[in-house]
Amino acid sequence: MSFDYDLFVIGAGSGGLAASKRAASYGAKVAIAENDLVGGTCVIRGCVPKKLMVYGSHFPAQFQEAAGYGWTVGDVKFDWEHFITSIDKEVNRLSKLHISFLEKAGVELISGRGTLLDNHTIEVNGKQYTSDKILIAVGGRPIKPETPGIEHAITSDGMFHLQSKPKHIAIIGSGYIGTEFACIMKGLGSQVTQIIRKDHILKGFDEDIYTTVEQGMIEHGINICKNTVVTAVEKLPEGLKISLSGDPEPIIADTLLVATGRIPNVDSLGLDKAGVEVTSPLNAIKVNEYSQTSQANIFAVGDVTDRMNLTPVAIGEGRAFADSEFGNNVRKFSHEDIATAVFSQPEAATVGLTEAAAREKYGDSIKVFRTNFRPMYYTLAGKQEKTMMKLIVDTNTDKILGAHMVGDSAAEIIQGVAIAVKMGATKADFDATVGIHPSAAEEFVTMR
């Protein structure tokens, strides 16, 4: 049977872009369909604009810290409109750059939402295309709880388009999105209330990470309402009235951000017509270790599969798929020992097993090395900011099972440590490594 394309990709986010370009490099005829800006969640409304907001939120603290080093900083002003507009311009620049990369790779870009009609046919804007293989890479989307008045709240998508900086922002959610935006907005000068239904933020991370980040946030002036849920939202002339469980005084805020989770973006995708199975309860596309769905010629990568929802993971899955199907190099993408970070203030990063997971798997053979200290940078600034570092070791093999950090440049430092953990480094390997002095990172090779 003859097809229009060797590969048709639905979704031009991180995974779809990586897979399409890699497949085209092997000589495949490839098309990719996207109904939004090219780049996906990461470029348009996720990692990139959020990290730019993180950078911007650091300056007020740096102005204060400069005084300890003899600098006099005059009156400072913040222009929210300039800030948001600059971020939007950068997002559009990157989106156009990704389009040029597709053109150079020979991938045809089709504007519109791709919908499956069967396991070889895709419809975009009323036009039908056929393809030997199909890759679904449509990512995820934020969701809101079914709470009265929740239509007055925004999701993370809306954070990059606020017309003015909120004087008081309330945030529902204890995960990394809610936590990061709480820190961003506090750094930019907003009053911040974070409402969480559990007893701690960032559950799922190592306990020393979430307790240290949480304590730092509280010391920075963020109000965290624990074991609390929003029961109703009402729009009043003075702002949003946010009622809470347990009958405490309602919160009045300019903006309410809901960051309670994301689900695979599979609505109206036509999965049933193509016979593609999904898993309950989120309707994530079910795939095997090669990203293959229940239909042998249809594959899925990234957040739509709800395996490990990280941009580099989607890219890795996409490239592994292309190598396997078009590059004569059948391989799996490993989801083990993947480093990740939370760009909170203080920042956190981690790779490998948490202490709890390590103890569950290895029992009493686990030994934990931990250090807490004030980095040298803050001594003249007169601040009590702390850094926490932690190594989890299996004493039977001396292998490093996990590395965790909270503090400045945690993501940059853990990225290097992750190489060692992925290679199977031992505590003896870390001990034999000479530290760079004076630096915070040297603590990873001096813990005894």
Strand residues in 80-120 grouped as ranges (E): 108-111, 115-118
* Spatial distance between the Cα atoms of 414 and 405, rounded to a whole number of angstroms: 7
* Spatial distance between the Cα atoms of 219 and 105, rounded to a whole number of angstroms: 50
335 is catalytic: no
Helical H runs in 269-363? Answer: 271-274, 311-326, 355-362
* Spatial distance between the Cα atoms of 388 and 374, rounded to a whole number of angstroms: 9
Taking phi first (over 0 means left), then psi (-120 to 50 degrees means alpha), and beta for anything else, what does residue 409 get? left
Quote the distance between the C-alpha of residue 416 and its chain's center.
19
Question: Which is the catalytic residue, given 161, 168, 200, 437?
Answer: 437
Length of the chain: 448
| Token couple for 418 | 């992750």
- Spell 140-156 as b/e; 16+ CB within 10 A means b: bebeeeebebbeebbbb
Q: What does 184-253 look like in DSSP terms, one character per residue? A: HHHHTT-EEEEE-SSSSSSBTB-HHHHHHHHHHHHHTT-EEE-S--EEEEEEETTEEEEEETT--PPEEE
| Token couple for 409 | 């440049």
Residue positions annotated with a catalytic role: 437
